Amino acid sequence: MIAAFFLGASPASFLGLTLLLFGGGALATGRALALQWRPLWQALPYALLLAAGDRFLLYALFGGELLSASGYAVAAILLLALALLAYRLVLVRLMVRQYPWLYERAGPFSWRAAGRR
């Protein structure tokens, strides 16, 4: 009951719609930004727009509260985290693939100068 009040919708519909549908959109957004070599800060406005779309569909399809500030904030934070995760993973892959003489993978989220251990 408290989760539904805090999220502005039932937890199942919130998590299903936010993580499955809009989470995929956030992952695709982060990937697209990294592939185009866009700056990281551009993920923020896209995540906010995705969260607004998420709130609207929760309202229209599941009878959730449209103007739930806490639900919007939770959705925006989750979607931003997914977009940043995808951005970083793709950026590391790009740096290592495009500049193999300069960089090597140092883990899933970082690279280091080639030849340094």
What is the distance between the alpha carbons of residues 1 and 3, in angstroms, rounded to a whole number? 5
Confidence band, pLDDT 50/70/90 cuts, at residue 23: very high
Residue 115 has pLDDT above 90, yes or no: no
The reported pLDDT for the residue numbered 82 is 98
The span from the CA of 117 to the CA of 33, in Å, is 30
Q: Is the pLDDT of residue 114 over 70?
A: yes
* Mean pLDDT to the nearest integer, 5-24: 89
How far is it, in rounded angstroms, from Cα 6 to Cα 4? 5
Q: Which amino acid is located at 43 in the chain?
A: A
Please compute Rg for the chain using Cα positions: 17
Give the pLDDT confidence score for residue 8 in this predicted structure: 83
pLDDT at residue 98 tops 90 = yes
